[in-house]
Chains A and B, each alone.
Chain A
Amino acid sequence: MAEIVAAALTSHAPLITGKPEIAKPEQRDRLYAGFHELRRRLAAARPDLLVMFVNDHLQNFPYSNLPAFCVGLAAAYDAPSPGGARLMRIPPRKIRGAPEWGMALLEAGLAGGFDFAYSYEIESWDELSVPLHFLTPEGDVPVAAIYTNCGAPPLPVPRRCHALGAFVGDFIRSRPATERIALLATGGISHWVGTPETGRINPEWDHRVLDHVARAEVEPLLRWTWAEIERDGGNGGQEIRNWIALLGAVPGWKGEVLAYEPVAEWITGCATVWVHS
């Protein structure tokens, strides 16, 4: 039987690696230390596959075609592409995908009430590249990516994202294979990007999120509306859907916050969280 051997939540932002020098050194060092500790724990769990809950930033899905949930079937992902590498200042590389695993999830979803969209070609940005730069520097663990619409409202409601994660968790545990699966959700926490409030961060809301996660209290997160998240967490805070989906896959698991830094220069409330039973 396949097994979930690790789970983690992190923020993603291109400036985390793209402009390390503009952040306050102590904030940068504490956040990087959180990523390094996550890497250590993840490596110790020896995963065969990293299932990632992430979101597009309108680089793939335009307003002519916007899936709520999309399973990546790409053979490989840019993490990052040569263009992204210049922006994020990390070397371009390809990370192996897991199209057969993705296809199995897709078919299970169609049979079980989740009609995922799918894509064989995904242009990945910081949602994969930045966390993977820290967490799998060798690039040796293949990735299965599940994209949730967090950026082009109307968005799937948090409760549905949680149900999606629960479905993925059940799917993993129902696999006859002896796969060791690590889960990783990236995005959030609060940030305002491209709005008139660009640069705002709301540490109070971020701590509320982290406190709920630490206590395995998902219900309060599931009650939040789009408008409440937009008000308190900003448009970037909508990415909390990825975290909520992951938490759905591992009911009862709690978060251990390894780092939280509201980094004004990176316009993001940045966290790394280890999730455990």
Chain B
Amino acid sequence: MIKTSYPLNKVLTAIARQHATKERLTDDELAGHDLSADERAALKAGDIAALYHLGANPYLIRRVFRPRFPI
């Protein structure tokens, strides 16, 4: 079953288009986005596994949170 979260992918796309990589996102960066509490927490923690399981696209996770990947 494909799990995808449009709110997560929308915010990740917006950040990715700024061509900056992040360890974590801030409340300022998430302002105006309609995210669940779990989604918001995962973005603020830079928790790449949680983001994946919540339905964020892995290509977007990697682009935004590149420093979180050991390889």
Interface residues, chain A, with chain B CB atoms under 8 Å away: 57-58, 62-64, 83, 151-154, 193-196, 198-199, 226, 235, 265, 267
Contacts and interface: CB of A to CB of B under 8 A. Distances in A.
A265 B70 CA distance: 11
A195 B16 CA distance: 17
Interface of B: 2, 4, 6, 9-10, 13, 16, 19, 48-49, 52, 57-63, 69-71
Given A151-B57, A152-B57, A58 B13 contact: yes
Contacts of A154: 2
A193 B58 contact: yes
A198 B69 contact: yes
B48 A58 contact: no
A196 B71 CA distance: 11
B2 A153 contact: yes
Given A62-B13, A63-B10, A267-B71, A196 B57 contact: no
Given A198-B71, A267-B71, A193 B62 contact: yes
A267 to B, nearest CB: 6
Contacts of B62: 193-194, 198
B69 to A, nearest CB: 6
Contacts of B60: 58, 194
Contacts, number: 54
A62 B4 CA distance: 13
Contacts of A195: 52, 58
Contact of A63 (B6, B19, B70): B6
Contact of A194 (B4, B19, B58): B58
B52 A194 contact: yes
B58 A63 contact: no
* 8 nearest A-B residue pairs (beta carbon): A194-B58, A194-B62, A199-B71, A196-B49, A194-B61, A63-B9, A195-B58, A153-B2
12 contacts: A57-B59, A62-B10, A63-B4, A63-B13, A63-B57, A151-B57, A194-B52, A194-B60, A195-B58, A196-B48, A196-B49, A199-B70
Contacts of A64: 10
Contacts of A267: 71
Nearest to A195: B58
Contacts of A57: 59
Nearest to B6: A63
